[in-house]
């Protein structure tokens, strides 16, 4: 099975939460902030805020409007799911991913 290096799905939500339940490729995320509260984001290969971190915990500068996020350039294989932990409910997270890749 050939895997294209392109995101086919977009999930957008305030705060954090479950992006996808099951195998997927993570292509990155962007953060929209309120320009005041710096969000601390961690992305897990899991269906909850625990387990293997695929994007380590990082605090993003809320004053850098439109410049916050993570785009690795190639998909990151997540075998269990994609979960975004975000300590700021005032920030919006947009996640780019492709579900159901070949898990072999």
pTM here? Answer: 0.88
In a domain, 100, yes or no: no
Say what percent of the chain tops pLDDT 70: 90
How many domains, the chain? 1
Phi, psi angles (nearest 5°) of residue 103: -90, 15
In a domain, 2, yes or no: no
In a domain, 104, yes or no: no
Q: 23 lies in which domain range?
A: 9-94
* pLDDT single digits (tens) 17-49: 999 999 999 999 999 988 889 999 999 999 999
Beta strands 17-21; 92-99: pairing state: unpaired
């Amino acid at each position: 099975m050939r895997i294209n290096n392109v995101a086919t799905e977009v999930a957008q939500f305030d705060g954090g939460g479950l992006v996808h339940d099951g195998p997927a490729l993570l292509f990155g995320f962007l953060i929209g902030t309120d320009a005041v509260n710096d969000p601390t984001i961690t992305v897990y290969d899991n269906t909850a805020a625990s387990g293997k971190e695929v994007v380590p915990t990082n605090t993003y500068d809320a004053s850098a409007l439109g410049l916050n996020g993570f785009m690795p350039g190639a998909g990151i294989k997540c075998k269990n799911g994609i979960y975004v932990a975000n300590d700021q409910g005032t920030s919006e997270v947009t996640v780019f991913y492709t579900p159901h890749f070949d898990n072999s």
